[in-house]
Structure formats: C-alpha cells, structure tokens
Structure 1
Amino acid sequence: MRFVSEFAKLIRFVKKEINRNTLIFGVFFCIASLFWIINALQKTYTVQIPIRIEYTHIPKTKAIVTSAPDTVNTEVSATGYALLRFYMYSSKTVDIHIEQLLQTQSNNDSLLRVVLQPLIQSSGVFSNSITVNKVVPKIVQFAFAPIHKKKVKVVARYSIECSQQYQLQHNPTTIPDSVFLYGASELLQTIDSVYTTEIFAQDVSQSFSRKIQLQAIRNVQLSDTVVTVNVDIEKFTEQQFTIPITAIHVPDTVLIDLMNHSVQITMFTGMSHIQKNSPQDFKVIADFTKQNTQTGEIPIEIIARPKWGRIVKITPEFVGYIIESK
C-alpha cells in the first residue's frame, strides 16, 4: 500500500511540474512571437499591389475609341505597419476624372494622355507613409470621337426550368424592348443588340416579372441600364399528328416505294396554342442521298413545323424502301 501511495504522489508531482512548465513555455512563446511581429512590422518592404482604375465623368459629347486598363500594377515601399493599414482600410480603387483632365490641356480635345503615377499618389489610396516607386503602365492614352446614337433591341438571357407539365409560353420579353446606345460610330456599327444579365429560376409554374440589369458595353453608354423582364408560363398538353413522307432527290432511273408512308409526330404544346397547330403546318421528307449505306434506311427530316410547341418524338426516325423497276 505504501508503494502505491508513493507512486501516486510521484504522478501528481510530475503532472504539476509539466503543467507549470507548459504554462511558462506558452507565456514566453507568446511574448517572443509578439516581439517578432513588432520587429517585422518595423521593417521596410517593397511589394507589388494591383490598383483598380475607374474612368469617370466622361463628357457626354465624346466617345472613347481606345481601350484602357481596368487594373494597373504599382510597386510601393513602406513599413509593415503602413502596409497592414493599407490592406485593412484602403479602397484599392482610383477614380480618374476624364472631363477634369481634358480641361487642363488646351491644345487637343480629341486625345488625352494621362500619366498615372502622380494621379495615384494624389488620390489618397496610399497614405503618406507609403512611397509609390513605379506604376505599370506608366501612361494611359485616350482617343475621342464624336458621339453617335443607335437604337438596338434588348435580348433576355435566361436559364429557366419549369415544373412538370409547365413550359415557357414564348421567349421572355422585356420592357422596354429596345434601348439607345451612345458611342463612337465605328463601335456602334458592330452592335445589334444588348443582353440582360442571366435570369435563373427553377421549378417554375407561374408567370413572373423581374427587374434585371443590362450588361455593360465598354466605351458605350446606354439610355437604360435596367429593364423589366416578363416570363410567361403555361401548362402544356400532348398533341399527335400523322404526316405523310415525301421522298426527294431520287434518281430519275430509280423508282422507290417507302416502307412507311407517314410518320407520327408527338408535340408538347401550350394550352393557349393548341388550336393554332395543324397537320398542314408540317413537311416531312426522306432525302435519298442521305441513306445509310449499311442499313439502307433514310433518316426522316422535318423541314417545316408549327411555330408553337416542342417536338418530343418522331416515329419512325428512319424509313426503309424497296426499289421498283420503271
């Protein structure tokens, strides 16, 4: 029993000493780490920092015809303290006031040459304790042209999944359905439409409307930046049509008899368009020149179809034939 008692005392002593030593080690480790951080922050570093550039206050009577970088790379020198404050609090964005810069030059209003480093230094994005050594690129140059106007349509971009037995009644529409663009004539000639940001919706069973932002176009101003997109949803039903097959491109020296003279087409059609579809809206062909040389079958093609509805099945998809003598 005495042995057990002495052993228990030894265990308690070891645990006590280990806990005490661990605590002492932890305290000194924290103190050493603090001094290391303080020492590191007092040193001077040279680092590369990307800065975002925003070109604002472009005169409404001028169109920019050259591209300019959205981001420039700056090389700066500063203490660790100054860099830490910059990363924590700075906006990292510099506004360049185009109209103000144009007013400072008197000889040419169709060309603007901007030296970036002085503008970045005076912008306040870097504090006085940070030295800007270099900016790449050093200079940004703008060429201007007279402003022109063009009307283009608005196209809605969408990814919409409807609930079972529902579908889009038609492509989403926008209000307004067109906008005016203002920019250089050469640039406007390449643009026929503007697009909305993409609309995402799942398991949709009811029509809806949303305010959607238009996608920006570089160096072009839009008369409207937000449009209303209307999405019409309706139930659909199944329609079936039996349509005769017309054989085409059959050589004059050959007479063929198709093994199927008609196909059955299954469509999903919105309830509002059922009466608008008829068999006369379809035209189905079998092009003899496209026959499969191994099976001797000709693929079925639909070259005309109703405007409304979605074809989901064609039976058969291929047709065989028998050559008859003339």
Structure 2
Amino acid sequence: MRSFKSILKAVRNFLFSGLNKEFLIFLFFLALSGIFWLMMTLNETTEREFNIPVQLTGVPRNAVITGELADTVHITVRDKGFTLVTYAYGGKIHPLTFRFANYADEEAGTGQIPMADVQKQVASQLYGSTKLLSIKPAKFDFFFTYGSSKRVPVVFRGKITTSKSYYLAHTEFLPSKVTVYANKKQLDELQSVEIEPFNMRNLQDTIHRSVPIKKIRGMKIVPQMVRLAVYPDVLTEESVDVPVTAINMPDNMVLRTFPSKVAVRFTIGASLFRTIKPSQFKVVVDYNDLVNNPSDKCQLQLRSVPRSVSKAHLELEMVDYLLEQQ
C-alpha cells in the first residue's frame, strides 16, 4: 500500500512540476484548437460520395438470374459536414431493395428498374437539407430465365507463339463444353463461347492454366472458369518413300518410272510422325504433259499431303521413264 502511494506521489510531483505544468497547458490548448478546427470544418458545406448496396428480392426459386442487377448505387450528395458524418457512421443509410415481380418482364426475360424508383428510395433516406447531386450507374436492369439452357463448346481466343524449332500441336479445354442459361432467342443464336484473350510467347513446354470465359450480357455461363491445356511439339524433318502413279493414261499404255518410288521430305511434329503413312501422299506423272512436252525424263508432281505436315517437297522432281503399249 505504501509502495502504491509513493508511486502516485512521484507521478503527481512529476506532472505538476513547473516544466510539466507548461507542457500540460500546451497540450490542453492544442486539443482545444483541434476541436475548434474540427467544428469549423464539419460546419462547412461539402460534397461526398456514398455507396449503397442494392438487393433484388422475391426471386422465384425456378428463376435463374442470367444478368445480375448492379449490386451497388454510387451517390454524390452535398450538405454540412455534421450531416455527412451521420450518413457515414450513424447507420442512417440502408440497402435499396426492389421486388422481382414488380419489374420482371416474363416474356422478354428482362427487368428494368426506373431511375425514378431508385431516386425515390435514396431520397427517403436523406435529410431534407441534403442535396442529391448524382446517381450511378445510369441504368438498372437484370436478365433471367426459367431454366432455358444450352451446351456449347469453348473456343480459344488469343495468340500463342512457340520458340524456334517448336510448333503449337493443339489446345484443349476441360471441360470442353459449358452450360449457358439465357432466353430462347439468345440461345438459338449462340454457337460457342470464347475465353478471355490468352497470350503467350516463346512456348516450349506443355502448360495448364485456369482461364475465365468471356462474359456475355444477359447470359449465365456455368462454369465461368475452364482449364486450358496447351501442347507444343518439337519440329523434325522426316521423309517417306511414295510410289509414283500415272494419271490420264490411255487404256492401252503403261508408264514405268525409274525409280518407281521417290522420297518426299517434310516437316512435322515429333509426336505425329508415327501417324504418317506413304499412302497419305500422292506423287503423279501426267501423261498429257509427256505428250505435250516430250523429254527423256518426266516431271513429277506432289498432288496430295497430310494436313499435319508442312514444307513438303520432292527429293527428285525429274525421273527416267518408259512408256509401254499393252
């Protein structure tokens, strides 16, 4: 007990010593001036923006909202600072609520809330001295459907480039299709959905990314994210031996070429080469060319190649030949 009293006495002596009395007086007048400045500031007329939540109520259980109503109203008001503080911290402003049935157009699958109704609800929460300067956004609408949906494929949007000696083998999405909810007219016109633009340069390795589906106004897309897989492949130069075929030959003539097969060189992804067969290529000699342009050698033509190859060309373009009559 004596120890506590001695501590109080020491604190009292410290605070009320000559030097500390002056410091306490300084703090008192500093606080007083701060309060005076705050009172003057709050008494001035100023502008401030407030955000008010918006709620759509009474939505039927079997209705799917495909285009959400704006969830926030941004208002700008002018009044004295005291009043604005009340709005900010006094719990004066409450969410705006609008009943689904009052604004829904069942046939069109849309609903629009007139600005007058928004202003009315906002104004009902403001003091008479407050001036409402602006309300944003300028339009309040929503879209809905009673279960109409469609499965559509996801398509790629963007640009992917590979490093030198690589090429883009293919891309795929998981899932490859999504469910879209909308009114019948919109669904009839919709054939696919795109991802948000996806760009990547100098790709060498397989990548997997979660990417968002591009939003479409008035439609609800499920899921809104898909998994994108991008598969690059190494380019390699290969060749196959392809038989030479004669075209436009008379029935009583036979063409023999030396050699009977020629090499076709091409560029292809390493993983795809095993799928390539000589029968997918077509190398021909046109009998009409032999008749119109007689020569010791015949001109070969590469008429057909698989879609997966590039830069296909013949290793020999001229070969010896022999025409025989049957």
Give TM-score, length-normalised by structure 2: 0.50
Which structure's CA Rg is the greater one? Answer: 2
Give TM-score, length-normalised by structure 1: 0.50
